[in-house]
């Protein structure tokens, strides 16, 4: 795990105490040099999201990670669920689309 990913996980864990935190570095699926930390997919299941609109969940996570977004994280795909929503989805989140600039 890279340094940026570790910081993201630490901040999310401390602020939201999620039941599930999956952070995937998808940077290599996009054009650019290897071993970078610029594109992430974050799947969170947290009771803290109960009663919160999806846009407010996204705003909360982006506010927590404002420094990382300003310092080089280019993309952050968010999949944010309450425990009941996660169970209703059979614990599945959408796959990321393949970047057009990779493998072509």
Average pLDDT, the chain: 86
Angle between helix 3-16 and 54-64 (nearest 10): 130
Query: How is the chain split into domains, by residue range?
Result: 3-88
Q: Which CATH superfamily is domain 3-88 in?
A: BolA-like (3.30.300.90)
- Cα gap 9→15, rounded to integer Å: 10
Dump pLDDT digits (tens) for 37-84: 788 999 999 999 999 999 999 999 999 999 999 998 988 999 999 999
What is this structure's pTM?
0.82
- Cα gap 102→11, rounded to integer Å: 30
The answer to whether 58 and 78 are in contact (CB under 8 A) is yes
């Amino acid at each position: 795990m890279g340094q940026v990913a570790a910081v993201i996980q630490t901040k999310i864990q401390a602020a939201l105490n999620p039941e599930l935190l999956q952070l995937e570095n998808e940077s290599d699926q996009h054009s650019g040099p290897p071993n970078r930390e610029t594109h992430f997919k974050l799947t969170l299941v947290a009771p803290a999201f109960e009663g919160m609109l999806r846009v407010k969940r996204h705003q909360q996570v982006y506010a927590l990670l404002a420094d990382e977004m300003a310092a080089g994280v280019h993309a952050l795909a968010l999949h944010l669920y309450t425990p009941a929503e996660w169970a209703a989805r059979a614990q599945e989140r959408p796959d990321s689309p393949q970047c057009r600039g990779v493998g072509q």
